Structure 1
Amino acid sequence: MMFFPRPFPSSCVRWLSACGAALLVAACASPTSPVSAARPAAAAAAAPVKVKVFVAAMFEIGQNTGDRAGEFQHWYERYWKGAAPMAVPGALQPVYCNADGVCGAVLGMGKVNSSSSMQAILLNPQFDFSQAYYVISGVAGTPPARGTIGEVSWATWLVDYDLGHRWAPEENKPGEPTFMPRKGYEEYRRFKLNPDLVGWAMKLSSDTPLKDSDSARKYRLRYPDAAARRAPFVGTGTHMTGDTFFHGPGMSKQAQYIARLYGADDYVITEMEAAAITLVIKRTHGTDRVTSLRGAVNFDQGNPKESTLQHLDPAPGETAGGFAETVENIALVGTRVVDHIVANWPQWQAGVPKP
């Protein structure tokens, strides 16, 4: 039984019978009561962060600042140094936000890990993603015929490498593909990203001065391809998402076959998350505001003088180099776009302007 300190008007009695005592307290408390006095403060505390840009990284090596940088550290040091972490149940790491509406988090490596974190963050009531742009950011591999160590690439297409049937080459006619798409995955296996947004990304960042290293320069000379020997640059193309860390000229040829089979551009990047994260975003907010930004830290196959296994398991001192420079390059390129969107938010909040 509940006891009230004073008589209630007849209107409140009707509320009690219709809605229960809990609603009665909220509806009939006087303006000076503790319940109504606390309500504005509670509502203010519960107001979600209006996200303008969300930056998704896949891993960090150690701390978010002050040590060897992984995929998140340069972003963190630019936008969130000193920001309070916001825990999200179901996400791998907390989310950080600044006063300008730029938020970011480490989602985890691989399709399941990263997409489950993204789903938890998107559905968390602490955030309002209704007008958000996304930068899916990280390191990657590249085929030597298309890219080089230290380059940074904006995706035009995202293609899932895994949604299909595969079989051993010896069980096929020589030279024929050993991959067949599985029916029913047409809307899951490839995404064409907004060409206007890609155009803006290139317009804003294509002339970014990029870092390089002596070790990367020396390593590139092992490859005969003109693209592999290039200095780092900003480019575009298809990003191939696969939980399988495919490697070697045979697997690279198959990846290119899949990209062309799906009507995408030539693949220039191999990575493990973007298509899965984009599917999660698509189901809640669509893909018009999604970008994928990757920096190449390795070639997806060895040079003509080494086997695939030798390339996968190099001897000491035989690695590509250039990792530190590449993760810095990714942030140098990406922050140009993030900063422009935030600085010109009245022109961007309703959608991507025409380039």
Structure 2
Amino acid sequence: MKFSIITALVATTTTVTALPFSGYLSKRSNVTAAAFNTSTNNDLEPSYSKPFAMFQPKVLITSMFEPEAAVWLEGLDFIHNMTLPGLSPLYPDLHCTSNYSICQVTTGEGEINAAATIASLTLNPLFDFSKTYVLIAGIAGGEPNYTTTGSVTFSKYTIQVANEYQIDSKELVGDQKNWTTGYFAYGTDNQDDYPANVYGTEVFELNENLLDRAIELAKTATLDNGTNVTSTFRKLYKEKKGSSLPQVEKCDGVTSDTYFTGNIMGDYFDKFAKLMTNGSATYCATAQEDNASLEAFVRADKFGLADYERIIVMRTISDFARPPASLSNDTWAFFTKSEQDGFAPAIANIFNAGLPIVTDILSKWDTVYKNGHYKADNYVGDIYGTLGGTPDFGKPDFEVA
């Protein structure tokens, strides 16, 4: 079914159908010029999970809030705005290019918003995401041992670090008085044991072959280095990566609705990320949504609504997650008063580093990406093994909370 027929069908649908479909399709009157050609065909194929789906995007770009979305909406030629049930009240539209090959959604910030948006989107009957490549592309705080402001990170693991017990550290006594934080894992009574019970969202592992391809392509991009202010603040760090110009890094992200900062929290969550992945994770980026989005995609994949192996998590670094040594005596002032000037290059590098993989998917769809050339050799999925296989993290048994 060619795009011209799809357009006719959509017109018919929006004419004869009452809500929710009547508000799906609207067009912007001030479309900006596309950064590259998006005129590839988007022929429909039979879908087992959604036999009446009208659109089969090749790429879904997932942003979390307006600045992350704006860089794509300004850079690509998104023609269609579709208001879909279940998307964020702040960001109710799915944006798509003329032939629906590329679509972009903004989830809203935080774990609940991300999960609700992705779940609603993958369940929408008009869209078949079973072969869609997903680029989760947002900003994050960064660890100076591995990143600097403007750096681009790609994750193999994402770890939900704040899903634990917590006691205010000022109330700890006895042996626990030596703890650096009041966090400890569920079902345990200390900070060294793996959780005795889990919720299933603690760790997600992604397709390393696709990850490596995205990194290879991102390294061809010219990154935004920021301003003199950005450079001056970087030089406060003794860590080599922290004081250098931004680069593309393969390291892992943590998810927490708590926006944490500082050496104590950073050291603890680094330790917890390693604990949860049996020493495999290299924590370098802080985020608020990734585990929630990935959980929604796992559930969608379970019923053929998405392909979890086709997800890439990319975070660019907008600020440091801990202070330089010269400011470590006042973390509050570092967090609230310091001029890091990393936001603008981080936003710019979402597009700079993300565009090459988007372009590659479109230009090599039939020969490479359509049938999943970069299929995973590693385990992919959650801690339960929901999508099959045996997780290479965790422990042999635990209680399901």
TM score, norm. by length of structure 2: 0.71
SS at match of 1:146: coil
Give per-residue Cα distances to partners, 1:125-161, cap 9 Å, x unaligned: 1211111111111111011222101101111111111
- Alignment coverage as a number of residue pairs: 305
- What residue in structure 1 maps to residue 382 of structure 2? none
Is the Cα–Cα contact under 8 Å of residues 148 and 220 in structure 1 kept in the other structure?
A: yes
Letter paired with 2:76: Y
Deviation of the 1:335 alpha carbon: 0.9
Q: 1:342 to 1:40 in 2, by over 3 A?
A: closer
Task: Give the CA deviation at 1:235.
Answer: 0.7
Residue in structure 1 matched with residue 325 of structure 2 by the alignment:
304
What residue is the counterpart of 2:241 in the other structure?
Answer: 227
1:343 — aligned with what? 363
Q: Matched residues in 2 for 1:90 and 1:282: separation?
A: 18
Query: Structure 1 residues 294 and 108, CA, compared in 2 at 3 Å: closer, same or farther?
Result: same
2:183 aligned residue: 179
> Using a 3 Å threshold, how does the CA distance of structure 1 residues 130 and 354 change in structure 2: closer, same or farther?
closer
Conservation of the 8 A alpha-carbon contact between 1:196 and 1:352:
no
Q: Distance in 2 between matches of 1:230 and 1:253?
A: 22
Residue 291 of structure 2 aligns with which residue?
A: 275
State how 1:226-265 maps to structure 2 within 5 Å.
Answer: 226-263=240-277, 264-265=280-281
Q: Which whole-Å CA distance do the structure 1 matches of 2:334 and 2:10 have between them?
A: 61
- Please state how far the C-alpha of 1:88 moved relative to its aligned partner: 0.8
Instruction: Determine the C-alpha separation between the residues in 2 that align with 1:186 and 1:287.
Output: 19
Q: For 1:40 and 1:107, locate their aligned partners in 2 and report how far apart those are by CA, in whole Å.
A: 25
- Closer, same or farther in 2 for the Cα pair 1:40/1:333, shift >3 Å? closer
2:334 is matched by which residue type in structure 1?
A: H
Alpha-carbon distance between aligned partners in 2 of 1:305 and 1:348, rounded to the nearest angstrom: 48
Q: Structure 1 residues 141, 101: closer, same or farther in 2, change over 3 A?
A: same
Distance 2:359 2:320 in 1: 31
Residue in structure 2 matched with residue 135 of structure 1 by the alignment = 135
Whole-Å separation in 2 of the counterparts to 1:168 and 1:240: 21
1:43 Cα deviation from its structure 2 partner: 7.3
Q: What are the residue-to-residue correspondences of 1:180-219 with 2, within 5 Å?
A: 180-182=184-186, 183-185=196-198, 187-212=200-225, 213-219=227-233
Give secondary structure in 1 for the equivalent of 2:80. coil
**What residue number does 2:87 align with?**
91
**Percent same amino acid at aligned positions?**
25
CA distance in 1, matches of 2:270, 2:242: 17
Match of 1:125, as an amino acid? P
Task: Give the match for residue 74 of structure 2.
Answer: 77
Deviation sequence 1:315-337 (CA, Å, 0-9, x none): xxx32113222211111111100
What is the CA distance between 1:47 and its match in structure 2? 4.7
Change (3 A) 1:40 1:260: closer
Structure 1 contact 248–308 (Cα < 8 Å) conserved? yes
Structure 1, unaligned stretches of length 5 or more? Answer: 1-37, 61-69
Q: TM-score of the superposition, structure 1-length normalised?
A: 0.80
Separation of aligned partners in 1, 2:282 and 2:127 = 36
Q: Aligned AA for 2:145? A: A
- Runs of 5+ consecutive residues of structure 2 not aligned to the other structure: 1-7, 16-51, 187-195, 302-306, 377-401
Amino acid at match of 1:180: F
1:352 CA drift (Å): 4.0
Q: In structure 2, what is the Cα distance between the partners aligned to 1:40 and 1:323?
A: 39
Look at both structures and tell me which one has the larger radius of gyration over its CA atoms: 1
Task: Spell out, residue by residue over 1:267-301, the C-alpha distance to the aligned partner (whole angstroms, 9 max, x if none).
Answer: 01001001110000011125211111111010112
* Counterpart for residue 291 of structure 1: 312
Counterpart Cα distance in 1 of 2:64 and 2:11: 36
Q: Distance in 2 between matches of 1:116 and 1:39?
A: 28
Displacement after TM superposition at 1:39 (Å): 9.4
**Structure 1 letter corresponding to 2:212:** G
Greater alpha carbon shift after TM alignment, 227-236 vs 176-185: 176-185
Q: CA RMSD in A?
A: 2.3
